[in-house]
Amino acid sequence: MLEVIQQFLSSIYNIEGLIAWGGLLAICIIIFVETGLFVGFFLPGDSLLITAGILAAANVLNVWYLLIFATIAAIIGDQTGYFIGHHMGKILFRKKDSRLFRHEHIEKARAFYDKHGPKTIVLARFIPLIRTFVPPVAGAANMKYKTFVTYNIAGGTLWVFSTVLGGYFLGRLIPNLGKYLHVVIAIVIIVSFIPVGLEYWKHRREKKHEIIPPP
């Protein structure tokens, strides 16, 4: 079982091969699943979109189709997460941990939402793990639907356009960048997880202060 999971993850993170195999459809499905379903929290959204932008610069993909359909997938994904949270909020927060679900992810998303309010829907787009769990938290918190839709459209558009066009213009500026895609992907993954690491460190520090009373 563990071997199957490892093979699956290695194929998912072989982003160039994944795009070559599934094209625009595969990109849209992954973006939707990562933003709309809990099982997608491990999917490589940022690196996928930046890599797709680089490949679009090499005319492997149509950049306009990529921007339009990936944005639609991102927006529909968050809408799905919102409705799940709105209709299953109580069950969600009581759900026990499993291989594909960790309650701590929900708690982190809720803390992030409590801290930043509606703008969380935009900010969370740029933070792996958090972006998967914030929409259901917003739904469970009964965030006004019109407000959510507004921030969802703004956040989804900003996220897709910034990552895709970032990769696209990088590909145009640096000749033969496609030869070094594995390096670019590794850098993007590391950078994208920095906010998660900082939040985790901050959470651990606060928890430590709660357990150990001041002298």
User: Residue 33's domain spans which residues?
Assistant: 2-211
Is the separation of the CB atoms in 51 and 185 below 8 Å?
yes
Show Cβ contacts of residue 141 under 8 Å, excluding neighbours closer than 6 positions: 85, 89, 110, 113
Dihedral of CA 159/165/168/172: which sign?
Answer: negative
Q: Which SS3 state, helix, strand or coil, does residue 2 take?
A: helix
Nearest to 141 by CA among 119, 110, 174: 110
pLDDT in tens, the chain (215 residues): 445 434 444 555 577 777 878 889 999 999 999 888 877 667 778 888 998 998 898 888 999 999 999 999 999 999 999 998 888 766 666 666 555 456 666 676 777 777 777 888 898 888 888 888 888 888 888 888 999 999 999 999 999 999 999 989 988 888 777 677 777 777 776 776 666 566 556 656 655 555 444 44
Count up the domains in the chain and report the number: 1
Is the separation of the CB atoms in 15 and 47 below 8 Å?
yes
